[in-house]
Structures are given as C-alpha cells and as structure tokens.
C-alpha cells in the first residue's frame, strides 16, 4: 500500500505504471489504485488487461454508499456506536470493582 497526496485532480499513466512496477517487484497478485479524482485515458488504457483495478472518486463514492447500506457491520448503528478497544497505554481497571490495576512481576518462576 502506498499513500500520496496529489495536487492534481487527474492521475496520469506514469503514476499507474509506477504502482504496477511496485506490485510486480513485490510479487503481488493484484492491486487497487484509488483516487478521489479521475484517471487520464492513457492511465485507463494501461491498466486494461492487468490485474489492477482503478477506482476513481465516483466509483469510490458508490462503493462507500453500498457499504453504508449493507448490514456488514451489525454492531454499528446510530443508537449503538462503534466500540473501540482501549488504548494500550491506558491503565486497565479491575472488571469487578473498577479500581486501577497495577503491573506486578513475579520474583521467581515464570
């Protein structure tokens, strides 16, 4: 995966070729090149016949809308927000009494 900020709205063939080269070097079976903008005709032509899917802004918006309509995440509803895992840096609390837990190391054994 590679993330870049583009100042141009159109993604050209050079960027798609570079991405495909990285895929080939890494031995990837396929890839997705996603942009919020559009692709040039040359970029689209280059990707034809390759196991490389170009996702432009319009297609990305449709994909996101489709996910929002499905029940693929039944635990996320307006009434029940997504539950996130506690931060690994947060001090855990006792599930029984709620007191802050302390880390102890055994002096012997495992």
pLDDT digits (tens, 9 = 90+) for 18-36: 999 999 999 999 999 999 8
pLDDT digits (tens, 9 = 90+) for 67-103: 877 655 555 555 555 555 556 666 777 777 888 877 7
For 34, the enclosing helix (H) or strand (E) is strand 31-34
For 57, the enclosing helix (H) or strand (E) is helix 57-69
Distance CA 72, CA 84 (A): 17
For tokens 């692709």, the residue is 39
Distance CA 51, CA 45 (A): 13
């Amino acid at each position: 995966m590679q993330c870049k900020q583009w100042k141009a709205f159109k993604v050209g063939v050079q960027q798609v070729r570079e991405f495909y080269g990285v895929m080939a070097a890494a031995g990837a079976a396929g890839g997705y090149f996603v942009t919020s903008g559009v692709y040039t005709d040359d970029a689209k032509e280059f990707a034809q016949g390759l196991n490389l899917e170009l996702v432009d802004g319009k297609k990305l918006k449709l994909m996101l809308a489709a996910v929002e309509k499905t029940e693929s995440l039944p635990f996320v509803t307006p009434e029940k927000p997504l539950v996130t895992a506690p931060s690994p840096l947060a001090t855990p609390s006792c599930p029984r009494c709620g007191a802050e837990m302390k880390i102890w190391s055994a002096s012997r054994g495992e």
